[in-house]
Amino acid sequence: MPRPCDKFDWPLEWPRRNLLASVGPEPHRLEATEGTGVKLQIVLTNLAHYTAPLRRFGASSLGRMFVLAIGLAAMTAFTVSDLQKSADFWLSACLWCCLAYFAVEGYVRAQAALQAGKARNYLLSASGIVDLVAIFPVPIALACGVAQPTAWLWASLWVLKLAQNSPGFAQLARVFVLEARPLASVLVLFLIVLFLASAAMHVIEREGQPVAFGSLPAALWWAVVTLTTTGYGDEVPQTALGRLLGSVVMICGIATFGLWTGILATGFAAESRRRNFIETWDLVSKVPFFQTLDPTSITEITHMLRRVEIPERVAVIRRGRVGDCMYFIAAGEVEVDVEPSPVRLGVGAFFGELALLGDSVRTANVATTKPSTLLILDLADFRKLMAHHSELARVIDAEGKRRLGENLRRRETGARGDAVAS
């Protein structure tokens, strides 16, 4: 029986495979014989399926993102005078709908906070402030008599909704905080070059180009545009000396920028290691398989594992594909599609080890039956683990051989031709 979710690859596996194959046929076939209610349910399930990978990227709800996109597009279109005249009603309607949506969303959240007695916390939290600036500025501006398109410009604050509830920002902010001292030094360096270069350029070029370099603010504008290597070209030095100074400023710009990037790269590498360890640790210590290990080994293994959250009914492994990782189940449940009847594996079990021990081809389909948290062990780390922890190696090897034997026995006994070829 071909399982519907087989066609849907988990994003971690598709880079090496063809992307197209993974979005081909739908996860559930709509059979004409079924009732409308069932049909609708299947459509919704399919939609949830297809958007599962999207949801990982911080967009907590696709609906919200859709409203947001519509709202921002309408707001943008509203400032174009032609569109504003021809489609005034529709754009206004769109904008008011979006505003209503955000107002309801904010109200629900505020209500929940009030009931939990945390109203003040909510108002002062990032989420609360985003809700406030999304809802109130436009009505207030309209009430104060600001003209239509201008008042709706406040709706550009809706873009902050993108960042609401996104954990990734905390991580980026942490990099900036940890590396605050060197980054501040680079900014000071930037300011010093900026001021000295623009003062010198002002002196050099003010006679030839009194408009572009006649005052220090104008020269500062040139310096910023040049030092960031933006280079609009609205103010360009003309004298030989000015051009020499300009060259130095450009090279300083690149040097400063390189330093800045280097600092952020260093900070991000450290933060990334730290976050991964923390995310994985709790899960590792809960997997029974690892509980025989001493704390030192657990620390070591934690560095090797990568955590992924997988929604319900998503294929993790597809038969016949080349595999380069194995999985431990930290939460949830998966179903292994073996003959004659599928086997379910629960928390603490592992799968996918056969491809690592043998000839690297997956021998069965594995799909989640519940939303699951898996720990991924890459081939490289798998081999290191096998090398350093002989007891784990023995357990995995024994289980692998047992499963292989079972597979063979099943294939021999259940020698009926199966149509699954894919």
Alpha-helix runs per DSSP H in 287-372: 295-304, 353-357
Total binding residues toward a second copy, as defined by CB under 8 A: 127
**Nearer Cβ to a second copy, position 151 or 345?**
151
Judged by CB under 8 A, the chain residues 379 through 398 that form the site for a second copy are: 379-380, 383-384, 386-388, 390, 393
202 binds a second copy (CB under 8 A): yes
**Nearer Cβ to a second copy, position 262 or 346?**
262
First to last CA, the chain: 12
Cα–Cα distance between 91 and 77 in angstroms, integer? 8
Judged by CB under 8 A, the chain residues 402 through 421 that form the site for a second copy are: 421
Cα–Cα distance between 340 and 336 in angstroms, integer? 11
Burial 67-78 (b: 16+ CB within 10 A, else e): bbeebbebbebb
Judged by CB under 8 A, the chain residues 218 through 247 that form the site for a second copy are: 220-221, 224-226, 228-234, 236, 240, 243, 246-247
Task: Compute the least distance from the CB of residue 115 to a second copy, in Å.
Answer: 15
Task: Compute the least distance from the CB of residue 278 to a second copy, in Å.
Answer: 5
Position among 192, 241, 322, 398 found at the interface with a second copy (CB under 8 A): 192
Whether the CB-CB separation of 246 and 204 falls below 8 Å is answered with no
Cα–Cα distance between 7 and 19 in angstroms, integer? 11
Position among 40, 43, 163, 241 found at the interface with a second copy (CB under 8 A): 163
DSSP 351: E
Judged by CB under 8 A, the chain residues 73 through 112 that form the site for a second copy are: 75-76, 78-81
Q: Which of 132, 193, 141 is nearest to 164 (CA)?
A: 132
Position among 199, 343, 395, 404 found at the interface with a second copy (CB under 8 A): 199
**Nearer Cβ to a second copy, position 24 or 37?**
24
Residue that the structure tokens 């201008």 belong to: 150
**Nearer Cβ to a second copy, position 219 or 345?**
219
Judged by CB under 8 A, the chain residues 307 through 326 that form the site for a second copy are: 324
Judged by CB under 8 A, the chain residues 268 through 307 that form the site for a second copy are: 268-269, 272-274, 277-278, 281, 294-296, 298-299, 302
Judged by CB under 8 A, the chain residues 337 through 366 that form the site for a second copy are: none
**Nearer Cβ to a second copy, position 56 or 401?**
56
Cα–Cα distance between 113 and 134 in angstroms, integer? 18
**Nearer Cβ to a second copy, position 135 or 186?**
186
Task: Compute the least distance from the CB of residue 358 to a second copy, in Å.
Answer: 13
**Nearer Cβ to a second copy, position 340 or 417?**
417
Cα–Cα distance between 185 and 204 in angstroms, integer? 28
Cα–Cα distance between 402 and 419 in angstroms, integer? 26
Q: How far are the Cα atoms of 128, 283, 313 from residue 379, in angstroms, in the given order?
A: 44, 20, 25
Cα–Cα distance between 281 and 247 in angstroms, integer? 51
**Nearer Cβ to a second copy, position 110 or 343?**
110
Judged by CB under 8 A, the chain residues 11 through 70 that form the site for a second copy are: 11-12, 15-16, 18-21, 24, 56-58
Query: Which residues, including other chains, have CB under 8 Å from residue 178's CB and lie 6 or more apart?
Result: 267, 270, 271
180 binds a second copy (CB under 8 A): yes
